[in-house]
Amino acid sequence: MRYRILGKTGLSVSEIGFGGEWLSRHDEAHSVELLRYAHEKGVNIVDCWMPDPKSRDIIGKAMADCRTEWYVQGHIGSTWQNGQYVRTRDMEFVRPAFGDLLKRLGTDYLDLGMIHYVDSMEDWNAVMNGPFIEYVRGLREKGVIRHIGLSTHNPLIGKLAAETGFIEMILFSVNPAFDMRPATEDLDQMFGGYDDAAYSGIDPDRAALYRLCEEKNVGITVMKGFFGGRLFDAAQSPFGVAFTPDQLIHYALTRPGVSSILCGFDAKEQADAALHYEVATAEEKDYASVLASAPLHSYRGQCTYCGHCLPCPMEIDIAMVNKFYDLAAAQKEIPESVHAHYRALGRTAGSCVGCGGCEARCPFGVPVTDRMKKTVELFGS
């Protein structure tokens, strides 16, 4: 298992994480064993947005003898009322639901205290102005939550969160299909309407969120990376082609700012399919060829940081140079942190000899040599 630092939290999280949404569908023993199996394979981060007692009990029992080896994303504002999940900011329900979460997990702290599911500006304003955020800040000050996070499907809310300075990471929905869609306050809209030819390439707001998180060192963990399983089926895929777990995991992990993708598992076989990514070949991870050859929704002309451009005879990491170019080009002034990361590459755009081999290999027709020249203009040689 490979590990990545989750932004400014400093936590070293597994690239493949555990999304606990489906735990309650099975008997307790099965789900506890599944979590322990994933942990044995190196998984060390689990998301618990679910308020139902069964799911929380399962996670608590699975990590009972190894709590410090897990990083838990626990959600604040996800409550269980009359046997139903209710997202709320009403402190009458928020406080006891959070207390129940700690009790059932068998812990007195959460590594990541997540402000649960903020997709609208109305909800953002309600969360950020009043007793809810005061409660969250109080938990942080007491050490009951070690870091503050936020979950959202809306890149505009994600950008607001990244700009706060105190929200250290976000849980965000990332997959090739979602990345084409403009910001919306209605998650259901993200699953339909892909027959519109106007949807082509990464939406600017989503690309801007990834760049901002990279710049601000706000870590991203990924939810809905498989588009609810639709991307595994060509008939349901909005691209008209099917992807594999390796390809979708690689797509998520190549977005700027992303540290871990949280996958939902029903069985060890599904866990193994996701964990195979850690030993997958470059060919098995190759999402770019699938996207480029898809009959619908081309990413033509956009760098997706896939790495097809390599090898470079000058040993330039072209995908990383392109990432830093995208980061820099969006700013009036280039942040010193971006300058430092760019310089740390060693071989930068100034080493480019314009041979064009990268352009011949790029599945999206990106004018790489031109971008190298523009990068030199921005950063210097």
**Nearest-angstrom CA–CA distance, 179 and 177:** 5
Cis? peptide before 363, omega within 30° of 0: no
Please report, in angstroms and rounded to a whole number, the separation of the first and last CA atoms in the chain: 36
User: Does residue 40 carry a pLDDT above 90?
Assistant: yes
Kindly give, in sequence order, each residue whose CB lies less than 8 Å from that of residue 151, ignoring residues fewer than 6 positions away: 49, 75, 114, 115, 116, 117, 118, 170, 171, 172, 223
- Per residue in 87-145, pLDDT (tens digit) is 999 999 999 999 999 999 999 999 999 999 999 999 999 999 999 999 999 999 999 99
Residue 222 pLDDT level (bands cut at 50, 70, 90): very high
| Radius of gyration, CA atoms only, the chain | 21
Nearest to 234, CA basis, from 170, 172, 181, 296: 296
Picking from 55-59, 163-167, 253-257, 301-305, which range would have the lowest pLDDT averaged per residue? 301-305
- Per residue in 244-284, pLDDT (tens digit) is 999 999 999 999 999 999 999 889 999 999 999 999 999 99
**Nearest-angstrom CA–CA distance, 155 and 24:** 29
- pLDDT value, residue 79: 96
Q: Which tokens hold the place of 246?
A: 């390796």
DSSP 251-265: HHHTSTTEEEEEEE-
- What fold does the segment set 3-289 form as a domain? TIM Barrel (3.20.20)
Share of the chain above pLDDT 90, in %: 69
Q: Quick count: other Cβ atoms within 10 Å of Cβ 113?
A: 24
pTM reported for the whole predicted model: 0.87
Question: Which is more confident, 118 or 292?
Answer: 118
User: Does residue 285 carry a pLDDT above 90?
Assistant: yes
User: Using alpha carbons only, what angle is made at residue 243 by residues 203 and 320, rounded to the nearest 5 degrees?
Assistant: 55
- Per residue in 175-195, pLDDT (tens digit) is 998 898 777 777 667 666 665
User: What's the mean pLDDT in 38-51?
Assistant: 97
Three-state SS sequence of 94-157:
HHHHHHHHHHHHCCCCEEEEEECCCCCHHHHHHHHCCHHHHHHHHHHHHCCEEEEEEEECCHHH
Spatial contact of 248 and 225, defined as CB atoms under 8 Å apart? yes
Residue 28 pLDDT level (bands cut at 50, 70, 90): very high
- pLDDT value, residue 363: 82
User: What's the mean pLDDT in 62-80?
Assistant: 97
- pLDDT value, residue 190: 67
Beta bridge mates, 155? none
